[in-house]
Amino acid sequence: MRKLPFLIILLTALSLTAFSLRVDAADRITGKPFATRSEVLATHGMAATSQPLATQAALDILKQGGNAVDAAIAANAVLGLVEPTGNGIGGDIFVIVWDAKSKKLYGLNGSGRSPQALTLDWFHKNGYQKIPAHGPLPVSVPGTVDGWFMLHDRFGTLPMKTVLAPAIQYAREGAPITDLIAYYWQLSVPILRQYPGFLEQFTLNGKAPRAGEVWKNPNLARTLEKIANEGRDAFYRGEIARTIANYVQAHGGFLSEKDLADHHGEWVQPVSTNYRGLDVWELPPNGQGIAALQILNILEGFDLKKYGFGSPEHVHLFTEAKKLAFEDRARFYADPAFQKIPVQTLISKDYAAKRRALIDMNRAARRYPPGLAENLNPALEAGDTIYLTTADKDGNMVSLIQSNYRGMGSGMTPPGLGFILQDRGELFDLTPGRFNSYAPGKRPFHTIIPAFITKNGQPLMSFGLMGGAMQPQGHAQIVINMVDFGMNTQEAGDAPRIHHSGSSQPTGERMHTGGELNLESGFPYATVRALMKKGHKMAWALGPYGGYQAILRDKNGVYHGASESRKDGQAAGY
């Protein structure tokens, strides 16, 4: 009997040794301890989306001879069916394209404008202090379909009938709904059921489809088929446009047939900053992409590698840089057709150095003064979106993000069309005289942003991370994880994330309490304690931590695909 404790100790030691060997082996195979899987490698083509069926649709298009742009449109169209909780043709689109032939980046701003008949004075006379989140008033012109055709006309190869065929087939025959999408869908039904057309077109007998149920949308199939056969004007003129306008106006909104007919997206020049040898590219406002560049510029002055991933210094410096960038985000990011946005000043190294000097290594700021003297202009924290990226055998790469905003959008569901209109107009400010103040025919501040990285003028990585105000925070973290902490594309997305909220708010209030810092599980508790000592208000939260996809092209021409482990993401190649 006296030998029993020794046997227990021996068996325990052997067990721990075996466990240690397994962990070491896993680390050698997958890399960082938090990595969920290896990168996906391929040479002929790659797609990374938030849903496997969309990824496979993109690959099918590539295998039929389509290019990365064709594949991206096909995947986006499929996502509108299988992930309507984040996107659809009632929303807007932003894209960065690397064109291998011209060896250049092209940016597409596919955001829609506010109704011409709706004025700031109308909101004030009717007692509105902010634009509602749902219903007819936040509806702006959907820019996605026009964006698809702008991309296709310039870069596409296969006929649009072929490109949209997978989405049309799934919409007609049905596709099974995943656990995650079923979860978000059932959250939206109680909120949106009051709006005409929603229950009839986006529920099964009044309820969200459950996980594993096959979802069909024959109305969407007919709409997509009409667009595929007749072109972009089939959406913005004629029967579809008339149905949208009549429906919105019948229920108290202002969107008109002329608003739809007058819509046009815009080709824009992406802007960049160099972060430790890599050029990181974003689109200029009305989106929030340059906030990521501002964060990176500020952090470039600190040796993050020395501090180490997950250290108190790493998290503290990132959070303070985010606060500084978001003060400018709150004031200046708006439609450049209505305001002169000081983009080059905001993303300059000199401006970053001045702002960096305000950071106290030992104390979290409760607020920061504005860097430039302008009126406050609020921006929202929330948002649900899809991000996808594709690449082809010729080296073309696409970074695409698309959204209805607030999950399924406004709830306004025009009869017989199979999609929900976006509520992006909620992001306008109703205070007169600010950069993002509401005006007729104006594009609202936008949260959705695609990103791209080049090195020495050559394409390196197409990437993005959906999730409202998390997006620029996520973009900066992906770059830092790879550059400063030596992670590969999958590890950079799997690493636990930092999310700070409470910067300048939609009501126009200045940050005065320092906001709230959420750390995803995986950060050491010693870091949490140290951050609390610095004055950060810590809170455990489920999110939002965003949804990430990426494709990297190495010097051998091999694509490295990565996808979001927190969602249904899949990267696949051939």
In 166-285, which ranges are E strands?
A: 175-176, 214-215, 266-268, 271-275, 278-282
Cβ within 8 Å of residue 240, ≥6 positions away? 223, 226, 234, 417
The type of residue at 63 is K
Dihedral sign from CA coordinates of 107, 110, 111, 116: positive
Rounded Cα–Cα distance for residues 230 and 320 (Å): 51
Please, are residues 517 and 538 in contact by the beta-carbon 8 Å criterion? yes
Rounded Cα–Cα distance for residues 19 and 105 (Å): 48
Please, are residues 481 and 552 in contact by the beta-carbon 8 Å criterion? no
The residue among 574, 111, 193 whose CA lies nearest residue 385 is 111
Coil, strand or helix: which one is 376? coil
* DSSP secondary structure letters along 122-171: HHHHTT-SS--SSSSTT-----HHHHHHHHHHHH--S-HHHHHHHHHHHH
Is 144 tagged catalytic? no
Direct distance between the N- and C-terminal alpha carbons of the chain, in angstroms, rounded to an integer: 62
Task: For strands 559-563 and 271-275, give the pairing.
Answer: unpaired
- Point out the catalytic residue in the list 385, 389, 454, 527: 385
Residue whose token pair is 């802007």:
271
How is residue 526 written in tokens? Answer: 């010693």
Residue whose token pair is 């696949």:
572
Question: What DSSP character marks residue 210?
Answer: P
Dihedral sign from CA coordinates of 294, 298, 300, 305: negative
Cβ within 8 Å of residue 83, ≥6 positions away? 50, 51, 54, 181, 386
The type of residue at 166 is P
Cβ-based neighbour number of residue 81 at 10 Å: 30
Please, are residues 386 and 50 in contact by the beta-carbon 8 Å criterion? yes
Rounded Cα–Cα distance for residues 48 and 75 (Å): 9
Rounded Cα–Cα distance for residues 574 and 40 (Å): 10
The type of residue at 447 is T
How is residue 459 written in tokens? Answer: 């394409």
Please, are residues 449 and 107 in contact by the beta-carbon 8 Å criterion? no
Catalytic positions, please? 385
